[in-house]
């Protein structure tokens, strides 16, 4: 399809990157139902590693099969499908070229209960090239005592991925001893997480929807002094997007914990109204029966399409 002006504008923000990066960003932006709108809906399925098979797939048993998720992303018209190495290897050949793939390079299991979590690197940039991926994904945990190790590893991954023309998608999820549990989604912390990912070279940033509380005392003074609006979810999303180079980096928001369809769609409307580039929705889609999942994903896409 012909490039839209919106896609051209977004690509112009990455002018220091090579043609391979820009081409692969364009492949995601120009794929699926939202092609050309500058918005994205991505299906991520890393929960089997992160939370275990039964917590992840028992609600919808066909989802134990890796091929199920490829087909769900394709049938829904998603912009891309993201997963760890094992799931992508199980279907990349069969579905080659049908859906842009993002290889998640690190993951953290829930068997170890650590105060300062640190995900393990479980795949490589070379794996992503071998599997025909359009991007790599990497998780950082700002506020963890192990954060600097993650940051340093991320910087090397970004550089290696760039040498192969692959963008990097960063899951920036604050957690660890540095903040409270409630602080993980505090608006100031989520905004900080987006800024950190952008500073380390992320081309696309995934964060959680921010809540109204402010975790850092120093940040609270600034929010109050300058009357920064955070009352509504749209206000808070706008604040987070602004924090990623004034909206010049693609910021998408996770679907969060399982909830009913109406609650998801209301949340998506607020996220859209705040200027989000899209959503990345995992368990709220693949834990539903396929027909319900397809309807939900299409409803989400239509919300973004209505204001694109």
For the chain, the DSSP string reads -PPPHHHHHHHHTTTTS-HHHHHHHHHHHTSSTTTTTT-EEEEE--HHHHH-HHHHHTTSGGGGSHHHHHHHHHHHT-SEEEE-HHHHHTTTTTTTTTS-EEEE-EE--SSS--SS--PEE---HHHHHHTT-SEEEEEE-TTSTTHHHHHHHHHHHHHHHHHTT--EEEEE---STTS-TGGGGBHHHHHHHHHHHHHTT-SEEEEPPPBS----HHHHHHHHHTT---SSHHHHHHHHHHHTTTTTSEEEEE--S---HHHHHHHHHHHHHTT--EEE--HHHHTS-HHHHHHHHHHHHHHHHHT-
The pLDDT of residue 23 is 98
Active-site residue, from 206, 208, 211, 304: 206
Residues 195-236: tens digit of each pLDDT: 999 999 999 999 999 999 999 999 999 999 999 999 999 999
Q: Which of 139-143, 166-170, 254-258, 266-270 has the lowest mean pLDDT?
A: 254-258
The mean pLDDT of the chain is 96
Residue 128 has pLDDT above 80, yes or no: yes
Is 211 one of the catalytic residues? no
Residues 237-266: tens digit of each pLDDT: 999 999 999 999 999 999 877 789 999 999
Region 261-289: mean pLDDT is: 96
The pLDDT of residue 307 is 81
Active-site residue, from 68, 81, 138, 173: 173
Q: How confident is the model at residue 48 (pLDDT cuts 50, 70, 90)?
A: confident
Is 126 one of the catalytic residues? no
pTM: 0.97
Domains of the chain: 5-306 (3.20.20.70)
Q: How confident is the model at residue 1 (pLDDT cuts 50, 70, 90)?
A: low
């Amino acid at each position: 399809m012909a490039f839209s002006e919106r896609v051209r504008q977004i690509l112009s923000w990455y002018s220091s990157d090579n043609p391979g990066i820009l081409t692969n960003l364009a492949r995601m932006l120009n794929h699926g139902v939202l092609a050309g709108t500058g918005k994205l809906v991505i299906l991520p399925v890393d929960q089997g590693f992160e939370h275990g098979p039964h917590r992840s797939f028992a609600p919808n048993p066909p989802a134990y099969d890796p091929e199920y998720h490829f087909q769900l992303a394709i049938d829904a018209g998603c912009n891309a499908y993201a997963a760890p190495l094992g799931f992508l290897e199980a279907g990349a050949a069969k579905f080659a070229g049908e859906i842009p793939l993002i290889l998640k390079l690190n993951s953290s299991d829930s068997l170890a209960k650590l105060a300062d979590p640190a995900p393990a690197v479980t795949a490589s940039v070379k794996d992503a090239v071998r599997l025909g991926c359009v991007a790599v994904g990497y998780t950082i945990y700002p506020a963890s005592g192990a954060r600097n190790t993650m940051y340093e590893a991320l910087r090397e991954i970004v550089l290696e991925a760039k040498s192969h023309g692959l963008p990097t998608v960063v899951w920036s999820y604050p957690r660890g001893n540095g903040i409270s549990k409630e602080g993980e989604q505090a608006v100031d912390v989520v905004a900080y997480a987006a800024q950190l990912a952008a500073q380390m070279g992320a081309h696309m940033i995934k964060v959680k929807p921010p809540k109204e509380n402010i975790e850092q005392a120093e940040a609270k003074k600034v929010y109050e002094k300058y009357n920064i609006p955070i009352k509504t979810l749209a206000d808070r999303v706008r604040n987070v997007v602004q924090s990623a180079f004034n909206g010049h980096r693609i910021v998408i928001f996770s679907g969060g914990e399982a909830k009913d369809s109406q609650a998801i769609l209301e949340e998506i409307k607020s996220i859209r109204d705040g200027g989000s580039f899209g959503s990345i929705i995992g368990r709220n889609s693949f834990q539903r029966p396929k027909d319900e999942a397809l309807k939900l994903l299409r409803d989400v896409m239509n919300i973004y399409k209505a204001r694109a």
